[in-house]
Structure 1
Amino acid sequence: MDIKVALVGNPNTGKSTLFNRLTGLNQKIGNFPGITVDKKTGFMKLANGKGAEVIDLPGTYSLYPKSADESIVFQVLADANNNSYPDVIVLVVDASNLKRNMLLYSQVADLGIPMVLALNMVDLSEKQGINIDLNKLVQKLGVQVVSISARNNIGIDKLKNAISNTNKIATQFQDVDVNILAPAAINAIKSKLNSDNDYYALQVLHQHEYLKFFSEKEQEEIEEIEQSHQFESSKTQAAETIVRYKYLSSILADVVSDEGIAKKFTFSDKLDSILTHKVWGFAIFILILFVIFNAIFAWSSYPMEWIEAGFGFVTDLGHQYLPEGMFTNLLLDGIIAGLGGIFVFIPQIAILFAFISILEDTGYMSRVTFMMDKIMSKVGLNGKSVVPMIGGLACAVPSIMAARNIENWKDRMITIMVTPLVSCSARLPVYILIISLIIPSENIFGIFNMQGLALMVMYLVGVIAAVLVAWIMKFIIKTKERAYFIMELPIYRMPRWKNVLYTMYEKSKTFVFEAGKVIIAISIILWVLATFGPGSRFDQIDRKYAPALADTTKNTDHIRTLIATEKLENSYVGILGHWIEPAIRPLGYDWKIGIGLITSFAAREAFVGTMATIYSVDGGDEDTSTIRERMSASVNSRTGLPVYTFATGISLMLFYAFAMQCMSTVAIVYRETKGWKWPVIQLVYMTVMAYFAALIAYQLLK
Structure 2
Amino acid sequence: MTPLRVALAGNPNVGKTSLFNELTGARHKVGNYAGVTVETRAGAVVPRLSPARPITVLDLPGTYSLTPIAEDEAVAFRCLAGAEGDPPDVVALVLDAANLARNLYLAVQLLELGRPLVVALNMMDVAAEAGMPVDPAALARALGVPVVPTVARTGEGIARLVEALGSIEHVPQAISPLRARLLADDDALPAPPGIGAARWRWLVSAAAAGTLELAGATAEERAALAAHPAADVTAAAHARVIARYREVDALLAEIGFTAAQRERAPAMSRSAAIDRVLTHRVWGLLIFVGVMATIFSSIFTWAEPLMGAIESLIGWLSEQVAAALGPGVFTDLLTQGVLAGAGNVLVFVPQIALLFLLLGVLEDSGYMARAAFLVDRLMARVGLHGRAFVPLLSGYACAIPAILGTRTITDPRDRLATILMIPFMSCSARLPIYVLFISALFPADDRVGPFTVGSLMLVGFYALSTVSALAAGAIWKRTALRGPTPPFVLELPPYRLPRLRNTLLHVYDRTADFVRQAGTVILSVTVVLWVLLSFPRPPDAPDGGRAVAEAVQVDPAAHVPEGMSQGAAAHVPEDMLQATDEDSPIIHSIGGRIGKAMEPVLQPMGQDFRMGIAILGSFAAREVMISTLGLVYGIEADDENQTPLREKLREAREPDGSRRHTPLKGLAAMIFFVYACQCMSTLAVVRRETRSWKWPLVMFATMSALAYGLAVLVYQVGRALGYT
Alignment-derived partner of residue 482 in structure 2: 479
Gaps of 5+ in 1: 29-35
Contact 1:10 1:93 (8 Å CA) reproduced: yes
AA matched with 1:235: A
Secondary structure in 2 aligned to 1:132?
coil
Secondary structure in 1 aligned to 2:179?
coil
Higher relative contact order (CA 8 A, sep 6+): 2
Q: 1:26: how far off?
A: 9.0
Deviations 1:471-518 (A, max 9, x none): 122221243455233221111111111112111211111111124422
Contact 2:40 2:75 (8 Å CA) reproduced: no
Q: 1:308: how far off?
A: 0.6
Contact 1:297 1:451 (8 Å CA) reproduced: yes
Contact 1:131 1:256 (8 Å CA) reproduced: no
**Counterparts of 2:594 and 2:265, CA distance in 1:** 71
Q: 1:171: how far off?
A: 3.4
Q: 1:380: how far off?
A: 1.2
Q: Is 1:625 the counterpart of 2:625 in the alignment?
A: no
**Counterparts of 1:15 and 1:262, CA distance in 2:** 20
Alignment-derived partner of residue 247 in structure 2: 247
The partner residue of 1:185 within 190, 205, 208 is: 190
Secondary structure in 1 aligned to 2:18?
helix
The partner residue of 1:119 within 96, 118, 121 is: 121
AA matched with 1:398: P
What pairs up with 1:463-478 in 2 under 5 angstroms?
Answer: 463-478=466-481
Q: Is 1:59 the counterpart of 2:66 in the alignment?
A: no
AA matched with 2:682: T
Deviations 1:547-583 (A, max 9, x none): 96998999xx989995995222232222221211111
**Counterparts of 1:653 and 1:511, CA distance in 2:** 21
Contact 1:423 1:462 (8 Å CA) reproduced: yes
Q: 1:681: how far off?
A: 1.5
Contact 1:114 1:170 (8 Å CA) reproduced: no
Q: 1:684: how far off?
A: 1.5
Alignment-derived partner of residue 6 in structure 1: 7
**Counterparts of 1:265 and 1:51, CA distance in 2:** 39
Q: Is 1:171 the counterpart of 2:175 in the alignment?
A: yes
Alignment-derived partner of residue 291 in structure 2: 288
Q: 1:439: how far off?
A: 2.6
Q: 1:593: how far off?
A: 0.8
Q: 1:384: how far off?
A: 2.5
Deviations 1:41-69 (A, max 9, x none): 01114545322110111110000001122
Contact 1:41 1:55 (8 Å CA) reproduced: yes
Q: Is 1:575 the counterpart of 2:578 in the alignment?
A: no
> TM-score, normalization: structure 2?
0.87
**Counterparts of 2:108 and 2:704, CA distance in 1:** 51
Alignment-derived partner of residue 641 in structure 1: 658
Alignment-derived partner of residue 32 in structure 1: none
Contact 2:126 2:267 (8 Å CA) reproduced: no
Q: Is 1:152 the counterpart of 2:146 in the alignment?
A: no
Secondary structure in 2 aligned to 1:569?
coil
Gaps of 5+ in 2: 30-36, 558-573, 720-724
1:323/1:235 CA distance change after superposition, 3 Å:
same
**Counterparts of 2:540 and 2:555, CA distance in 1:** 25
AA matched with 2:343: G
The partner residue of 1:106 within 84, 108, 121 is: 108
Alignment-derived partner of residue 256 in structure 1: 257
Contact 2:546 2:638 (8 Å CA) reproduced: no
**Counterparts of 1:360 and 1:68, CA distance in 2:** 22
1:416/1:696 CA distance change after superposition, 3 Å:
same
Alignment-derived partner of residue 321 in structure 1: 324
Q: Is 1:682 the counterpart of 2:699 in the alignment?
A: yes
Secondary structure in 1 aligned to 2:621?
coil
Alignment-derived partner of residue 220 in structure 1: 219
Contact 1:382 1:406 (8 Å CA) reproduced: no
Identity rate, percent:
36
**Counterparts of 1:138 and 1:679, CA distance in 2:** 50
What pairs up with 1:264-413 in 2 under 5 angstroms?
Answer: 266-413=269-416
Larger displacement relative to structure 2 (72-81 or 426-435): 72-81
Alignment-derived partner of residue 587 in structure 1: 605
Deviations 1:101-149 (A, max 9, x none): 1000000111111111111111111211212233322222111112211
AA matched with 2:163: N
**Counterparts of 2:546 and 2:160, CA distance in 1:** 82
**Counterparts of 1:692 and 1:175, CA distance in 2:** 67
Deviations 1:425-464 (A, max 9, x none): 0101101101102232236466323222211111110000
1:262/1:91 CA distance change after superposition, 3 Å:
closer
Alignment-derived partner of residue 674 in structure 2: 657
Secondary structure in 1 aligned to 2:119?
strand
Contact 2:17 2:28 (8 Å CA) reproduced: no
Contact 2:267 2:494 (8 Å CA) reproduced: no
1:380/1:211 CA distance change after superposition, 3 Å:
closer
Secondary structure in 2 aligned to 1:595?
helix
Root mean square deviation of aligned Cα: 3.3
Contact 2:306 2:350 (8 Å CA) reproduced: yes
> TM-score, normalization: structure 1?
0.90
Secondary structure in 2 aligned to 1:332?
helix
The partner residue of 1:435 within 413, 434, 438 is: 438
**Counterparts of 1:115 and 1:621, CA distance in 2:** 66
1:401/1:544 CA distance change after superposition, 3 Å:
closer
Alignment-derived partner of residue 95 in structure 2: 93
Secondary structure in 1 aligned to 2:384?
coil
**Counterparts of 2:519 and 2:198, CA distance in 1:** 52
**Counterparts of 1:236 and 1:287, CA distance in 2:** 50
Larger displacement relative to structure 2 (41-50 or 440-449): 440-449
Contact 2:577 2:654 (8 Å CA) reproduced: no
**Counterparts of 1:37 and 1:509, CA distance in 2:** 23
